[in-house]
Chain A
Amino acid sequence: MSTIVSLPDQATARVPKRNYLTNENGILSWLLTGDHKRIAILYLISITFFFFIGGALAGLIRLELLTPQSDLMSSDTYNKVFTMHGVIMVFLFLVPSVPATLGNFLIPIMIGAKDLAFPKINLLSWYLYLVGGGMALGAMITGGVDTGWTFTTPMSTHFSNTNVVTTGLAIFVAGFSSIFTGLNFIVTIHRMRAPGMTWFKLPLFCWSHYAASILMVLGTPVLAITLVLVVLERTIGIGVFDPTKGGDPILFQHLFWFYSHPAVYIMILPGMGVISEVISTFSRKRVFGYTAVAFSSVAIAVFGFFVWAHHMFIMGVSNYAVLVFSLLTMLVAVPSAIKIFNWAFTLYKGSITFETPMLYAFGFMGLFTIGGMTGVFLGSAGTDIHLTETYFIVAHFHFVMVGGMLMAFLSGVHFWWPKMTGRMYPEKISQLAAVVTFIGFNLTFFPQFLLGMLGMPRRYAAYPPEFQVLNVFSTAGASVLGVGYLLPMIYLIWSLKYGKVAGNNPWQATGLEWQIQSPPLTENFTTIPIVTQDVYDYEWLERQKEHEVTHVG
């Protein structure tokens, strides 16, 4: 199979001695760093930690659902397990996953800057994330929380005896880490671009992060105040959401989903940015319809704010509201489809190669499309009433979040691994891992669509015996999926020492990040670049190489 990978001669090549990893030594140089690349690495380690905790909880859920009875754990414990799985995966893994790691690492380099606009706030955001994560873990260890990650009132304010306050405050704190990340990105992209780096020369990775940052900055504060009100309701007994005092639990839903629907775009948009970069690089073509893809990110961000009530079709909102929100929900499908079609056209007549990041990207395109289209089922008011609160909805959002976002995350981690570490991951085994993940994923979640159609409700530890066959498939798939996630963990760590030396630009990619050494210097660029080439300009790259050769001659 053809490949575009071009590595330096392994006999002589070495990872550059002076880089951001070796610039300073000692634990304090990491804990007090202002370097966006080091903070990205800190984030990468922390979110991986939480991912495996969330994943272990998912394993427990699937194990319990292997049999129709609730035998592994009591129903109460089961409630806590799926709640903590949701809280950890949503707030501590998916929301920061790509932005805080890859975005943090790459955005300044991609736009030709030495760092993010506010390095100290960037570090603060990591500490807030740790405090939030620590509180969530603390709440889990000291009894857990059982409201579901949605904290639905009056369950969360009146009927739950678990650690709602601690978990709520944990999310409040982690939310500020997300606000600061978003704020940093917006200001950086506006104010720190290198000379010549105009808006329409920005890589699409930056555009999608810009759109996601708008959502972080405008949405997260609403979640923050909502959680504050829930906490005040539990501790002091104010009556904003309490129906016995005249408050309205539906108002909680409105405020919560006003953040939490845009939050799904916070999670998916950065992933879409990764896919744009990967698809372009491995088909050797400029992204088809660059402007349309760029604006579709912004359109997703804008529309994303006006669809929240589709989470509440069965919760007593008025029929007219249902009509309007159903229509608006359909609108979001348009920019998402624009992206999928443009990626497909980018592939058309491209010179496609199948390195690991591309395999994950293909996984993303297929699974995200299924996830997105089943979202249209749920956005249609009629079918929603049948399908919501069943396993159909669980399958839908796992297709988008795990099949889409996690694939994009792994795609991005593999794609930029040589840039972050200076070394290549082992190609064959990682291709295997990508395929295993894809198979495991489909085996886990496709049966859940069927279960949902048949009417199996979500969030119960027990179910009628006729659903068992499909649940066994799902649990079997989950164990395959687990292997698919453990493999990268192992070989990526292995590659830190034994991987091949990557050189500056193993993929022959066009982004500014590939034109500097790997791993980069602390200051990224020795001199700030002046950008004359277009974005995804492979001809320019070819010319650069010829130029280089004449120099050597």
Chain B
Amino acid sequence: MSDSHAVAAANAGHIAGQIGEHSDGHEDHPAYLRHHFVSLEQQNETASFGMWLFLLTEIMFFGGLFTAYLIYRNWYYPAFVAGSHTLNIFEGSLNTLVLISSSFTMAMGVWCAETKRQKGLVWSLIATLILGLGFLGIKADEYHEKYVLHHIPGSTFSSQGFIHPSEEALKSGEKPLAADMAAKTEVYFSLYFAMTGMHALHMIIGIVLLCGMLWKATRGAYMDGNISFVENFGLYWHFVDIVWIFLFPLLYLISRHQ
């Protein structure tokens, strides 16, 4: 108290309004309450509000890509249908399953942190990590497939496969595209790589953060009730999951039977 009196004396100014009950009571609060917050509740609410706002900026970030997708899909509908048919529906579905599972394990992690189960938290995070890496692995295999088919936009891109579909594709009902429309599949694949690439980048950032969190969790962090990092990371992870939940139908599914 004597220290804060000295502070008050040093402050030559007078404080606006009535001076409230001196109730900062540092002793009552845990060490992780930052100095500029009044209460733990305020600190947690602030962190979570900030995270939601950040996710809003992320929606706008992906929004630009979704807008481009919407416009070009309307313009180059046959090319988008044909491009979509070449995607690997099995791997795409598997990845959706993997990602939803990882969201589940992440939610379990948050619950374990809330109920102060350290082992549970560590294992949930490990499971999330493995599933996240699994997603990226499967995605990499899909990208490789595109590379083999010359479907990566740029100098190596070839739309020959759409002008002259293989016997197999013709049998399954695929129709050859005119050369000018076939060329537009490059726009489809540009968007495919931009969208899934940005999504994968978010996964990678998430995995880096996840590793840091896991390392801390193994050393006993988050067991003192200070779990706002776990909660907010959970929000981020679910958000990245939800982006995929929109990407998967737009890129793989809605043109499936056309």
Query: Measuring CB to CB, which residues of chain A are less than 8 angstroms from any residue of chain B?
Result: 16-18, 108, 112-119, 121, 179, 183-184, 186-187, 190-192, 195-196, 217-222, 224-226, 228-229, 232, 236-240, 245-248, 251, 254-255, 258, 504, 512, 515-517, 521, 523, 525-533, 544, 548
Contacts and interface: CB of A to CB of B under 8 A. Distances in A.
Contacts of B53: 183, 186-187, 217
Given A218-B56, A228-B198, A246-B184, 13 more contacts: A183-B50, A187-B46, A217-B57, A225-B61, A229-B194, A237-B157, A240-B191, A240-B194, A246-B186, A251-B67, A255-B64, A255-B68, A521-B11
A113 B46 CA distance: 13
Q: From A17, A184, A226, A247, name the one whose CB has the most chain B CB atoms within 10 angstroms.
A: A247
B153 A238 contact: yes
A114 B11 CA distance: 15
B231 to A, nearest CB: 16
B42 interface: yes
Nearest to B76: A246
A112 B15 CA distance: 10
30 contacts: A18-B10, A108-B36, A114-B36, A121-B50, A179-B57, A186-B53, A192-B46, A196-B17, A217-B60, A218-B60, A221-B64, A226-B64, A232-B190, A237-B155, A237-B157, A238-B189, A240-B68, A246-B184, A246-B187, A248-B71, A504-B13, A504-B14, A515-B14, A515-B15, A521-B7, A523-B7, A529-B19, A529-B20, A531-B17, A533-B16
B153 A16 contact: no
Interface string B34-60: 111010001001100110011011101
B36 A526 contact: no
B148 interface: no
A254 B63 CA distance: 13
Contacts of A16: 10-12
A256 B245 CA distance: 27
Contacts of B157: 237
A517 B12 contact: yes
Most buried by A among B13, B18, B76: B13
Contact residues of B: prevailing secondary structure: helix
B111 interface: no
A191 B190 CA distance: 42
A512 B13 CA distance: 11
Nearest to B54: A183
A238 B193 contact: yes
B62 interface: yes
B2 interface: no
A118 B7 CA distance: 24
A237 B13 CA distance: 62
B65 interface: yes
Interface in B144-185: 152-155, 157, 183-184
Contacts of A225: 61-65, 198
B257 interface: no
B22 interface: yes
B46 A191 contact: yes
Given A117-B46, A191-B42, A191-B49, A221 B15 contact: no
Given A221-B61, A246-B184, A504 B49 contact: no
A247 B10 CA distance: 65
Closest 3 A/B residue pairs (Cβ): A238-B190, A237-B154, A221-B61
B254 interface: no
A527 B22 contact: yes
B13 A523 contact: no
Given A191-B46, A222-B60, A530 B18 contact: yes
